Chains A and B, each alone.
Chain A
């Protein structure tokens, strides 16, 4: 069952999106759509969807050469109780 959550897009996500858009050139619209498709899937499936990248970090392939990376982080107080979850989105070059 999907868990409702807010999408927290970091400044780095915004910068990377702009940068990679220029690289995508005339395919920029396709690039945007592939990001949104990945985000929609993530939102429908909930946290934990995608390829795991270590401790609660995931990636979803978008347009060829890029992937959407998100981090599901649970901030905890001094007693180990969860305070809030947050998420960031980041397209990076695929290895």
Chain B
């Protein structure tokens, strides 16, 4: 661990000591990130080198813009940690499964109603309609 004393100039500017710049592998135009951490002992600053990579597809960029707008306009949910997010994801999956099961049951009821109506229509027309047997292939 090494320590360097630097003096802040106007507009909060400072010069990064050459040794630090060399160790980080940065030079003019490099992007750096300052991370602030505050605890009982005060505020500590961590300096990291940041690398720039190309942005994604046009659709991805649009999606990121929408996400940024959501955050700006308060359309977000806050989770205190990753486990809270995990609980939310599981709950969403469970609710989705429940909704799909209900949809399937509703479709089954609709099918039964349709078959009932078809039998009635068949009876009125003098045509006997039977439900397709479960073991239809075996009967053939």
A interface residues, Cβ below 8 angstroms from B: 1, 3, 6-14, 16-17, 28, 32, 35-36, 39-40, 42-43, 46-48, 51-57, 59, 69, 71, 73, 80, 82, 86, 88, 90, 92-95
Contacts and interface: CB of A to CB of B under 8 A. Distances in A.
A8 B53 CA distance: 23
Given A56-B33, A94-B56, A10 B75 contact: yes
Given A48-B35, A88-B71, 8 more contacts: A3-B37, A14-B77, A36-B82, A47-B35, A86-B76, A88-B70, A90-B64, A94-B56
Contacts of B81: 7, 43
A71 B82 contact: no
The interface residues of chain B, by DSSP majority, are classed as mixed
A35 B100 CA distance: 23
B59 interface: yes
A11 B12 CA distance: 36
Contacts of A95: 54, 56-57, 60
Contacts of B84: 7
Interface in B41-97: 46, 48, 50-57, 59-60, 63-64, 66-68, 70-71, 75-82, 84-86, 89, 93
